[in-house]
Structure 1
Amino acid sequence: MYVVTADQVGSRVDIDRSAAMQAELQGAFGDRLLLPVDQTAGDEVQALTEDPDTALSLVLHLARDGHWSIGLGVGGIRTPLPDAVRKAAGPAFIAAREAVDTAKRSDGRFALRAAEPPAGTRPPADVEALIRLLLVLRARRSDPGWEVADLVANGRTQKQAAATLGISDAAVSQRLKTAMWSIDESARPALVRLLAELDPDRR
């Protein structure tokens, strides 16, 4: 199982963003979560999923927003599940708490902890480092780069993206190259596989 715990950065001097992010994540990923996204301790949001692709997507979504320290915990959870994430418990939740505390002082404001990594898998620290590299790469992407990347990610061809934006096909290609879209696209499936290996329930 995968628990994502995100703590708002600078909440004492900023508006409370947790309720809005809770609704945003629920709208985008609700059908892939085991329980609704929850608001836990004050300005924290938390989500629970059994799908490694959804776990990575949650991390990427929160990181792109730019206002969160993000912890990803992998491991078992106590069953039966309660009716709210904040009431749930288990090694994955403990791992997520340790991860978000570490994320507050880490590059990319992200950390990963695995409570019970199966023998023979890649060390969780290696997976954490690779995800952090992707986060840093995406953080450097310009608004025009995101504009094109979002269209392509949602199924548009480069030609269709060019028509939508009113720019040339060559301009779309250059934006995608500058945004390092091909690296992003190839890295994500590999990271999902590595996350799947860390979950003892998927072995």
Structure 2
Amino acid sequence: MTTAIVLTVDQRGSRHSADRIPATLSRLAPLPTLLPFERTAGDEFQGVLDDPDAVAAAVGELLRDDGWYVGIGVGAVEEPLPDHARAGRGPAYLQARTAVSEAKTSPWHVRVLADHASAPWAGRALETTLWLWAAVLGRRTTRGWEVADLVAQGMSYADAGHRLGISQSAVSQRAQAAGIVEARRAEELAAVLARTLLEET
């Protein structure tokens, strides 16, 4: 057995919208995983991770898209690992399956379930962090995302303003309204809590 975080993700409103899974899998593909993200069945996909930063990055991508039920299960997965995420077994998978079902009635459509050991608070803390992060991203406008994406590429506010044809002051105002600093802190905290769960579960 090895400890991992399983993400089971179900597309919302799939009967009335295009299949968004292939494009999302493409965006998630560069992230380090134990077992890569792949479609499991129908409108679901799944991945297995043991890198806390990758967990935070994956969830951030899903929160940005705002079109998913996200179930996060933390616990043991059986070894040897299979070739595909959909073939895995273990408590983390069971937790993720329950979590994605409960995400349909959870705030921001995200649920975290963990096999608690010496850090029983960490799963709830991670879930709370993700809800607050989702609330920040949920109010971000297209203009806010423009600034956030440029800053994420390493640009200064001055450089971003030059690219967008607006003043540095205007960039700063957009950044504040977009909650760029708050979202960055949320992602950092999500990674810390994911690391705690992986180490303590």
TM > 0.5 fold call: yes
- 1:65-102 Cα distance to aligned partner (Å, 9 max, x none): 12111111111111111111111111111111111111
Structure 2 Cα separation of the partners of residues 56 and 90 of structure 1: 22
CA contact (8 A) 1:118 1:197 kept: no
Please tell me whether residue 67 in structure 1 is matched to residue 105 in structure 2: no
Instruction: Give the 4+ runs in structure 1 shifted more than 4 A.
Output: none
5 Å-filtered alignment, 1:1-203, equals 1-26=4-29, 28-29=30-31, 32-114=32-114, 116-200=115-199
Cα-Cα RMSD:
1.6
Instruction: Point out where structure 2 has 5 or more consecutive residues left out of the alignment.
Output: none
How many residues of Structure 1 are paired with residues of Structure 2 in the alignment?
198
Structure 2 Cα separation of the partners of residues 162 and 126 of structure 1: 36
CA contact (8 A) 1:127 1:195 kept: yes
| Bigger strand fraction | 2
Structure 2 Cα separation of the partners of residues 67 and 55 of structure 1: 18
Partner letter of residue 44 of structure 1? E
CA contact (8 A) 2:57 2:187 kept: no
Bigger mean CA offset, 15-24 vs 170-179: 15-24
Structure 2 Cα separation of the partners of residues 173 and 33 of structure 1: 35
CA contact (8 A) 1:117 1:199 kept: no
CA contact (8 A) 1:118 1:199 kept: no
Identity %: 38
> Per-residue deviation at 1:183?
1.2
CA contact (8 A) 1:121 1:197 kept: no
CA contact (8 A) 1:122 1:194 kept: no
> Per-residue deviation at 1:44?
0.5
TM-score by length of 2: 0.92
